[in-house]
Amino acid sequence: MGSTSQHALAVGIGVGAALISYYLLPNLDWVALIFIGFSGFVGVHLPNIQQPSSSSYWMVRLVSILAAIGIPFIVYMYRPSDLLIAWLATYLLFQGAWWIVDRISLYRDYTHSLSAIIGLPAVITLPAYISLDTLAVLPVFLASSTGYIVQLLTEQRKRVGLKTRELFPK
* Residue of 153, 152, 159 lying closest to 47 (CA atoms): 152
Stretch 30-56: mean pLDDT: 84
DSSP summary character for residue 29: -
DSSP summary character for residue 169: -
Predicted model pTM? 0.77
pLDDT tens, position by position, 69-91: 877 777 777 777 777 777 777 77
Distance, in Å, from the CA atom of 121 to the CA atom of 145, rounded to the nearest integer, reads 5
Distance, in Å, from the CA atom of 40 to the CA atom of 38, rounded to the nearest integer, reads 5
Q: CA torsion, points 14, 156, 53, 60, in degrees to nearest 10?
A: 20
Please check the confidence at residue 162 and state whether its pLDDT lies above 70: no
More confident: 79 or 29: 29
